[in-house]
Amino acid sequence: MEKFKDFKKRTVIAPDGEKIEIDPMKDYYCDAIPTPRKDYDKIPGILENFKNWARSESLWILAYGSGCGAIEMRPLMTPKHDAYRYGIQWRPTPRQANLLMISGYLSVKTLRIVVRAYEQMPSPKYVMGLGSCTINGGMYWDSYNTINRLDHFMPVDTYVTGCMPRPEALIAGFDELKKIIRAGKGVGADKYAENFAWYKENQKKILGDVGLPEYSW
Amino acid sequence: MNPIITKILYALLTVFIIWNIGMVLNGFTRKVYARVNKRYGIRIYQPYIDLIKNYSLDTLVYHGVMYYLGPIFRLTSGVGMVLFIPLIYGSEIFSNFSFAGDAILILYFMFFGTLGMALGSNETGQPYSTIGVARGLAQVTAAEVPLVLAFLSVFIQNQSLSISEIVSVQQGGFMHWTMWTNPMATATAMLAYLGSMMRSPFDVVLAPQEIPIGPPTEYHGSFLAILSTNRPIFAVAKTILFVNMFFGGATNWGMFILKATTLYMWSVVTGTIYPRFRVDQSIRFFLKVPLIMGLLSILLLQFM
């Protein structure tokens, strides 16, 4: 494709006359697929329980509003609801976040970015879907540019109902997620790695060939 | 026990105490910020939980050797500072490894971590990291100039490069502190202190709103945890250095915590009430008022 010509392999000559082959896709992205952690469904033990407690009490959300529900996260940060007192904080980079909020409808254009962001987050990572849009498409169920089932594209830990969910509902959703994590069932990243082929197939069906790598760390 | 082993054990204990003071101050600071924003704020022990969580996240990305060494350099600079500052005046065990001329080493350590961090995060190739590093180095360098001038002024005043000696000169009462004997140097250093604490009005380096948090954009999991282990140690160590240089040092742990907290709050209160400078503005600020004050403090010594 024309717009990906910069990503094609090319040969350059170094100052000392040596020829070097450059493959930009290898330089920019890693193409190794993810692997699940071993024995995640076995009894975790005291140390893992303690870690799970810490993970549940410190949820760092990727501050990326993917849909209209993101507007409800602002009152959540501000004085009236103040989610910080529950250990919920917002981080501006996927590398430091461990909770991805899909806040409502997810357009095809946004899906590509969301998948990349999800893959870049360090595991164990969690996904929370807001509103009916992430469950069955809601009012966009037959739209040409909006996906209608989020869990076909990435594993979802909790759904929060409402259109849009009020901040109170979100806090209840966080409580539910904390219980899941503390019980050692927040293993979405491992499910994603195990069923990687299926998830990728679904993603490609929607996105088409956009020149993205198999997996972007 | 072998004296050197005893000394090492006490040094480790010191680092642990300093780290805990820093963590509590960190939580308290965020509580202060929250209260000013009319929020309830985080739990005081939230920084501890965040740290445990970060240590228990997987690390995925390999960006090269410097990427690994960046956080280590940063931690080294924090721990190194603690080890070479005489924390409690007159105490054999809590003077750690301080020696005659330690002030020069400590001034080096203050810059060392920033350089390591810059090399590490530049290796990630992330453009936000590069912007953060460029801003950070520019600003830290600008803040360092008046800081070093203020320190030089104190060195010349005391004819010594040993922090222990500078503290011992200030003993014997409130009015012996450098704060009174060399007020111009103290004022300069207090302005430079604001610049090196990475708080508003000088926090555009980490600018959490405009660019994703600057240099540590790519750091995650244990790397980020090492960085946030260093953060409280480094901040408190720097504060203690200023207490030793300008405010008479501390003779016991109670005085140590009191003075450190008070001085730490100077940057917190300033950060709470002042909006943010852009980098070019903060560089211009440091190279105008504090620089002239620093030069004046050295000149004034000649006529005193």
What chain A residue is nearest to B38 in terms of C-alpha separation?
A: A79
Q: For position A107, what pLDDT does the model report?
A: 92
What's the confidence (pLDDT) of residue A3? 56
CA atoms of A53 and A178, how far apart (whole Å): 8
CA B124/CA B247 separation, integer angstroms: 41
Determine whether the interchain pair B58/A123 forms a contact, defined as Cβ–Cβ distance below 8 Å: yes
Tokens matching residue B131: 């912007």
Is A124's Cβ below 8 Å from some Cβ in B?
A: yes
Q: What is the mean pLDDT of residues B155-174?
A: 92
Distance CA(B200)–CA(A161), nearest Å, equals: 39
Closest by Cα among B217, B195, B245, B227 to B70: B227
Q: Report yes or no on A160 lying in a domain.
A: yes
Note whether A178 contacts B: Cβ–Cβ < 8 A.
no
pLDDT at A127: 95
**Cα–Cα distances in angstroms (integers) from residue B286 to residues A83, B182, B198, B279, B282, in the given order:** 37, 20, 14, 11, 6
Residue B268 has pLDDT above 70, yes or no: yes
Arithmetic mean of pLDDT, B31-58 = 93
Residues in chain A with CB shorter than 8 Å from the CB of B41 are 82, 84-85
Residues 6+ apart with CB under 8 A from A162: A130, A131, A169
Q: Residues of chain A whose pLDDT is less than 70?
A: 1-7, 25-31, 38-44, 211, 217
Which of A37, A54, A79 is the closest to B39 by Cβ? A79
Give the pLDDT mean for B143-172. Answer: 93
Q: What is the tally of structural domains in chain A?
A: 1
Q: Is A131 inside a domain boundary?
A: yes
Cα–Cα dist A111/B155, whole Å: 60
pLDDT at position A14, please? 84
Q: Is A33 a member of any domain?
A: no
Residues of chain B above pLDDT 90, percent: 61
In a domain, A10, yes or no: no
Task: Please indicate if any CB of chain B lies within 8 Å of the CB of A57.
Answer: yes
Provide the token pair at B70: 């960046």
| Cβ of residue A58 closer than 8 Å to a chain B Cβ | yes
A51 in contact with chain B, both atoms CB, cutoff 8 A: yes
Q: Is residue A194 part of a domain?
A: yes
The CATH number of residue A182's host domain is 3.40.50.12280
**Residue A111 belongs to some domain of the structure:** yes
State yes or no: pLDDT of B285 exceeds 60.
yes
Residue A210 within any structural domain of the chain:
no
Q: What is the mean pLDDT of residues B192-213?
A: 81
Q: Assign 3-class secondary structure to chain B.
A: CCHHHHHHHHHHHHHHHHHHHHHHHHHHHHHHHHHHCCCCCCCCCHHHHHHHHHHCCCCCCCCCHHHHHHHHHHHHHHHHHHHHCCCCCCCCHHHCCCCCCHHHHHHHHHHHHHHHHHHHHHHCCCHHHHHHHHHHHHHHHHHHHHHHHHHHHHHHHHCCCCHHHHHHHCCCCHHHCHHHHCHHHHHHHHHHHHHHCCCCCCCCCCCCCCCCCCHHHHCCHHHHHHHHHHHHHHHHHHHHHHHHHHCCCCCCHHHHHHHHHHHHHHHHHHHHHCCCCCHHHHHHHHCCHHHHHHHHHHHHHHHC
Q: How close A99 gets to chain B, by Cα (Å)?
A: 12
Cross-chain residue pair B53–A95, CB shorter than 8 Å: no
Using a CB–CB cutoff of 8 Å, tell me whether A98 touches chain B. Answer: yes
pLDDT over 90 (residue B127): no
**CA pseudo-torsion sign B7, B11, B17, B18:** positive
Which residues from chain A sit within 8 angstroms of residue B43, using beta carbons? 85, 87
Contact at 8 Å (CB) between B200 and B144?
no
pLDDT in tens, B51-76: 999 999 988 777 888 999 999 999 99
Is residue A144 one of the residues assigned to a domain?
yes
For range B210-239, the mean pLDDT: 88
Report CA-CA distances (Å) from A188 to A34, A94, A99. 12, 16, 11
pLDDT band at residue B147 under the 50/70/90 scheme: very high
- Residue B32's pLDDT is 93
Residue A173: domain span: 60-205
